């Protein structure tokens, strides 16, 4: 049989993978193969329907990875959702388009990632974006923007769903949150995220359908003869050259599909874009990782990087539900992003001091639960960066998503920067086995406290007029079941029995200097390899306050330029 060979082989045709595939195949002399376990969802109504959030969950396009039992959170498992389709998780997500706070991206450079700061990433946020100016009707319902923050010529349609929730709502929210010290933020995407905002979505505002990575970066380009996507094809591991040069050289990827097992060869690079759960697992299956873990499964160590799979950061999501007194039609787009000062008021310095004094202990716990991979000093430095972001820079502390739908008014919320650090590691040499995913939710009391403190802030907002006038009883958890003055143990029990993952895993192949525990360099190349990169959510070293796709698209755009420069293509 003839053995196919491409310049670049990309593992994962998801959010990040399709960006890189698109950009590299702009040059028709360059051949690109994308290996994707899923299939087309172009006309799947569970994907396209802008009000269909959740309908794809549990279907065959949801990986639905079970986590390990969460020992700090009552012992249950969570379901980590992720899309299995051309377009990846962007085909099943909540579509919110929010970037990050500027100083969070600046922090990437401060810890040693040369060239990564808000200013240098900003042109890639706009390069990826096709901002759709809201209509007068959408503006009357709260859509707002500064055009200088947006790109109008990119691939990804960003805008508002055609029908936003009733126009009466925003002024009432604004009056309410102003009394709590949270101002209106006209545009959350300029690097300043704090406030009440009507965020845009990844949506095609004209067709009123979901805009996912495939619609943006693949379908319009599917006829490029130098771009090949292999669907229903599972990547097992990287295949290395036999030479014994100091850097490991990838020659291709072993894949499995209905035709059996074969190798797809790469003459230039293998690029991992399988997401924050799978990319570190593929590295381990390929012999890149912690020797103690690899040896357990008789995998030959190709590159010793013990931190592969460590540094997993996700958030925890919870909800409060009210009866609505008004009837709400349309798609809700309002979020509240309070800073720590706004949330804690005069108590903020106590909270800051408590967290500061706990961080040495937190660092010990993380180091001890990292299979010997994470050093206390490195994680303590990361915690200091995080403490500064929260308490000095006052990045948003939580996101509170307001969901007035028909006759109910629900809230989903998550503290944005928990201190828990977990990991993802293979638990078998069989590539088809789901890795052990252990986010360590509520590893630290501060993470639990934050969840409770934000819930109390939400209750305060909903008992403040005019918002209070719009709702009836809180039916979940309900004041009878969980009074405001309930003891901490009851609040904690409620949090642990009701939370879910926020589906924002990052950090499992962190971009950091190698001596600081990094897996990839500032060009996203895996240390110790000549030609393997990771380009997905795994490389984000510190959790960001935006939803993830906006940042992932920008990172993928930026690394595409770096790869093109490297090969002069």
Does residue 280 interact with ligand FAD by CB under 6 A?
no
**CB of 53: closest distance to ligand FAD in angstroms?**
8
Smaller CB distance to ligand FAD: residue 363 or 509?
509
Of 9, 21, 33, 37, the one binding ligand FAD (CB under 6 A) is: 37
Does residue 448 interact with ligand FAD by CB under 6 A?
no
Distance CA 227, CA 233 (A): 16
Q: Of 139-147, 168-176, 472-480, 543-551, which part binds ligand FAD (CB under 6 A)?
A: 543-551
The verdict on whether 199 is a catalytic residue reads no
Q: Of 32-40, 239-247, 342-350, 399-407, which part binds ligand FAD (CB under 6 A)?
A: 32-40
Contacts 24+ apart (CB under 8 A), 233-236: 233/35, 233/36, 233/37, 233/257, 234/35, 234/37, 234/431, 234/432, 235/11, 235/12, 235/35, 235/37, 235/274, 235/282, 235/431, 236/261, 236/285, 236/431
Short-list 264, 271, 274, 250, CA closest to 6: 264
Active-site residue among 150, 199, 425, 504?
504
Smaller CB distance to ligand FAD: residue 370 or 549?
549
Q: What angle do CA 426, 54, 70 make, to 5 degrees?
A: 40
Instruction: Name the β-bridge partners of 534.
Output: 272
Smaller CB distance to ligand FAD: residue 12 or 142?
12
DSSP state of 406: E
Q: How far is CA 498 from CA 71, 78, 412, in A?
A: 15, 11, 12
Q: Of 7-15, 22-30, 126-134, 509-517, which part binds ligand FAD (CB under 6 A)?
A: 7-15
Cβ contacts of 429 within 8 Å, gap of 6 or more: 285, 297, 298, 299
Of 116, 503, 527, 542, the one binding ligand FAD (CB under 6 A) is: 503
Distance CA 256, CA 279 (A): 17
Smaller CB distance to ligand FAD: residue 53 or 475?
53
Query: For ligand FAD, what does the binding mask look like between residues 73 and 102, x meaning CB under 6 A?
Result: --------xxxxx--xxx-xxxxx------
Query: For ligand FAD, what does the binding mask look like between residues 256 and 275, x meaning CB under 6 A?
Result: -----------------xxx
Of 7, 15, 355, 398, the one binding ligand FAD (CB under 6 A) is: 15
Residue closest to ligand FAD when measured from CB atoms: 14
Short-list 462, 212, 503, 198, CA closest to 330: 198
Does residue 12 interact with ligand FAD by CB under 6 A?
yes
Query: For ligand FAD, what does the binding mask look like between residues 167 and 196, x meaning CB under 6 A?
Result: ------------------------------
Burial 421-457 (b: 16+ CB within 10 A, else e): bbbbbbeeeebeebbbbbbbbbbbbbbbbbbbbbbeb
Q: What angle do CA 59, 64, 70 make, to 5 degrees?
A: 150
Does residue 235 interact with ligand FAD by CB under 6 A?
yes
- Residues in contact with ligand FAD by CB under 6 A are 11-17, 35-38, 81-85, 88-90, 92-96, 234-235, 273-276, 278, 503-504, 536-537, 547-550, 552
Instruction: List, by residue number, the catalytic residues.
Output: 504, 547
């Amino acid at each position: 049989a003839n053995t196919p060979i491409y310049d670049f082989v990309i593992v994962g045709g998801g959010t990040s993978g399709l960006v890189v595939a698109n950009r590299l195949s702009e040059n028709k002399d360059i051949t690109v193969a994308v290996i994707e376990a899923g299939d087309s969802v172009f006309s799947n109504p569970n994907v396209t329907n802008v009000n269909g959030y959740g309908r794809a969950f549990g279907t065959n396009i949801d990986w639905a990875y079970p986590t390990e039992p969460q020992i700090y959170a009552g012992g249950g498992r969570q379901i980590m959702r992720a899309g299995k389709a051309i377009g990846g998780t962007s085909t099943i997500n909540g579509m919110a388009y929010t970037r990050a706070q500027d100083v969070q991206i600046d922090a990437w450079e401060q810890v040693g990632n040369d060239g990564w700061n808000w200013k240098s990433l900003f042109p890639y946020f706009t390069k990826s974006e096709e901002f759709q100016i809201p209509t007068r009707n959408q503006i009357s319902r709260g859509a707002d923007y500064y055009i200088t923050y947006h790109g109008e010529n990119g691939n990804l349609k960003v805008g508002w769903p055609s029908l936003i929730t009733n126009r009466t709502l925003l002024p009432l929210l604004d009056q309410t949150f102003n009394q709590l010290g949270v101002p209106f933020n006209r545009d959350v995407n300029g690097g300043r995220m704090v406030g009440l905002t009507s965020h845009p979505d990844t949506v095609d505002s004209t067709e009123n359908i979901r805009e996912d990575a495939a619609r943006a970066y693949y379908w319009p380009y599917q006829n490029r003869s130098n771009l090949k996507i292999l669907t229903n094809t599972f990547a097992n591991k990287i295949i290395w050259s036999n030479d014994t040069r100091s850097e490991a050289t990838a020659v291709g990827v072993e894949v499995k599909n209905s035709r059996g097992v074969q190798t797809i060869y790469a003459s230039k690079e293998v690029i991992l874009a399988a997401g924050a759960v799978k990319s570190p697992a593929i590295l381990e299956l390929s012999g890149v990782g912690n020797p103690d873990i690899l040896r357990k499964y008789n995998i030959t160590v190709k590159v010793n990087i013990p931190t592969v799979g460590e540094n997993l950061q996700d958030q925890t999501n919870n909800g409060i539900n009210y009866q609505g007194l008004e009837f709400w039609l349309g798609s809700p787009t309002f979020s509240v992003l309070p800073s720590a000062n706004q949330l804690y008021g005069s108590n903020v310095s106590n909270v800051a001091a408590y967290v500061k004094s706990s961080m040495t202990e937190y660092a010990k716990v993380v180091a001890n639960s990292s299979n010997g991979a994470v050093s206390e000093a490195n994680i303590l430095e990361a915690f200091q960066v995080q403490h500064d972001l929260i308490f000095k820079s006052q990045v948003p502390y939580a996101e509170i998503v307001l969901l007035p739908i028909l006759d109910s008014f629900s809230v989903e919320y998550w503290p944005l920067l928990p201190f828990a650090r977990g990991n993802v590691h293979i638990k078998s040499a069989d590539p088809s086995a789901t890795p052990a995913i252990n986010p360590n939710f509520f590893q630290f009391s501060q993470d639990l406290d934050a969840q409770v403190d934000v819930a109390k802030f939400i209750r305060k907002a909903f008992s403040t007029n005019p918002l209070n006038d719009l709702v009836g009883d809180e039916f979940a958890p309900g004041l009878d079941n969980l009074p405001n003055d309930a003891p901490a143990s009851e609040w904690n029990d409620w949090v642990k029995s009701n939370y879910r993952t926020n589906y924002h895993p990052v950090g499992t192949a962190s971009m950091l200097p190698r001596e600081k525990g990094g897996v990839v360099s500032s060009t996203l190349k895996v240390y110790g390899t000549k030609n393997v990169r990771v380009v997905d959510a795994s490389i984000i070293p510190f959790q960001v306050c935006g939803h993830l796709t906006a940042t992932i698209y920008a990172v993928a755009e930026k690394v595409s330029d770096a790869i093109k420069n490297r090969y002069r293509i």
